[in-house]
Structure 1
């Protein structure tokens, strides 16, 4: 563990939908609607680098699994008592890095929420099933080592795109069965953003060349095919301007699991495409950020 670096200073439809009936374009998931002239990563990376320089943080901490099994931890004041938000980056399970997403922590830390961003291994070097298991290892490690990290066990989990899928898989995990020393529900809330919750349609699209999923694996790691082990509230988010396929995935997740005992709020970020939604995620003036903060502070 590296030394602590001190700081210098519209609701969518929830009708039952069958995602396999959605038309997918030749790129695989409607991503051609993104504005080609906009490159999001440099701006995110620059903002993240600036924040890391001034943040009170632990960087590149190993959680002990895989070549990319590391995390960054950004500490709020009174971190041992503050709620903790864990963020899982996207990148279609085969690219991306936590270093581009430090910026998501900045507005939360400023409002008393510690944040942890994680890396994980990629397809095709590992299977999709391996990634799910690796992220479980990371979550359990964070729970066991929370005090050493300087954070509390009042955990919330969120992720974008592929990370939204992994967020839902974490909410579906029976943690006490996974490890008898863990509580049955590890998280006080979840925020899957632009998540993919039924992976079966991906088997037949060109992008599966890198994932190498067959129908059996896609079924086994699709959150909508699994029991949702947690009754903790969730904010299920997609950009209003994302493809029908992405919005259908969020609608399906909510319609599958909402019940009188479980609050799942479906929120469509007005005007946002698949990447704009992450700008809203970290904008303290945006209703999306405010909804997340309200969820976390109400329970954390």
Structure 2
């Protein structure tokens, strides 16, 4: 879009100078929650990062939380505490990790999350995808995946809904930013990895929420996929998380009484 400074719009760490303390807080909260509620470790591939932490909370559908970090930072261990709110409400939460750019491409990461989803689907329980930032992108990709084409042994629709927090659905704006140094996207690869341009998964549900104080581009991204997929038969919702920035937007996941946890529980219960 002409006149938009994408470097400013998408550089979340520059927009939130206190982000190191917030990320440190994630790590310490995650360690504390694992000590209280030890997860079951599931491997979905041969690599060290091809693992899922499953925090059991009940026998029904599983909510999957995919971490962010612009596909180039962090792992699932920073986000164990994001299972706390749903676990307290009787919902199991799976937190996968994945390989990072530039060692792999975003297309590779999408494939890894499909492998992780397949492993979870084999447990025989429906999946609700959620994720933050790059994880919000990956959650939408999982909802829009043609699962019978990926693996004919899977149910027709193993992923029943997605809840994207500060997600990215159109990746072309990143191509000319410093973020792309690790991603190595050109325009063609960026469009191919953009779920906005995939076949919308009609008959499913997508919520796209954004921190109230996030950049205009983050709000535009979520509004756009809600409008485009909604017109194609997906039950979509857009929302803003009051007073939240890009890093505090996930905080409600740890609170059993938050509107975010209540909504994810609704999605899991159909």
Gaps in structure 2 of 5+ consecutive residues:
none
Say how many residue pairs are matched: 269
- 1:210 is aligned to 2:182: yes
Closer, same or farther in 2 for the Cα pair 1:205/1:222, shift >3 Å?
same
Which residue does 2:212 correspond to in 1?
A: 240
Matched, 1:43 2:25: yes
Residue by residue, what CA displacement relative to the aligned partner does 1:219-239 show, whole Å, maximum 9, x if unpaired? Answer: 111001110235211211111
- Which of 45, 50, 55 lines up with 2:37 in the alignment? 55
Q: Specify which of 186, 193, 196 is matched with residue 224 of structure 1.
A: 196
Bigger CA drift: 20-29 or 275-284?
20-29
**Given the alignment, which residue of 74, 96, 99 partners 2:55?**
74
2:227 and 2:201 map into 1 onto residues whose CA distance is: 16
TM-fit CA distance, 1:289: 2.5
1:41, CA displacement in angstroms? 1.8
Written as runs of structure 1 = structure 2, the 5 A alignment for 1:107-256 is: 107-144=85-122, 146=123, 153-256=125-228
Q: Is the 8 A contact 1:85 1:114 kept in 2?
A: yes
Q: Secondary structure at the match of 1:85?
A: strand
Correspondence for 1:97 among 66, 75, 81: 75
Q: TM-score, normalised by structure 2?
A: 0.93
The 3 A distance-change label for structure 1 pair 75 and 37 is closer
Residue 10 of structure 2 is matched in structure 1 by 29
Deviation, structure 1 residue 130: 0.7
- Distance in 2, Cα, partners of 1:85 & 1:65: 23
- Alpha-carbon distance in 1 for matches of 2:35, 2:251: 20
Q: Distance in 2 between matches of 1:230 and 1:187?
A: 12
1:224/1:37 CA distance change after superposition, 3 Å: closer
**Residue 286 of structure 1, CA deviation:** 2.6
**Mapped contact 1:165–1:192 kept (Cα < 8 A):** yes
Contact 2:147–2:157 (CA<8 Å) still a contact in 1?
A: yes
Q: Deviations over 1:122-167 (max 9, x none)?
A: 00001111111111111111112x2xxxxx5121110100000101
Change (3 A) 1:123 1:260: closer
8 A contact 2:200–2:234 mirrored in 1: no
Report if aligned partners of 1:87, 1:118 keep a CA contact under 8 Å in 2. Answer: yes
Say which SS state the counterpart of residue 250 (structure 2) adopts: helix
In 2: Cα distance, 1:105 partner to 1:191 partner: 14
- For structure 1, the 5+ residue unaligned runs are 1-19, 147-151
Root-mean-square deviation (CA, aligned residues, Å) is 1.8
Normalised by the length of structure 1, the TM-score is: 0.84
Asked if 1 retains the 8 angstrom alpha-carbon contact of 2:86 and 2:253, the reply is no
- Larger-Rg structure: 1
Using a 3 Å threshold, how does the CA distance of structure 1 residues 174 and 260 change in structure 2: closer, same or farther?
closer
In 1, Cα distance between equivalents of 2:189 and 2:199: 16
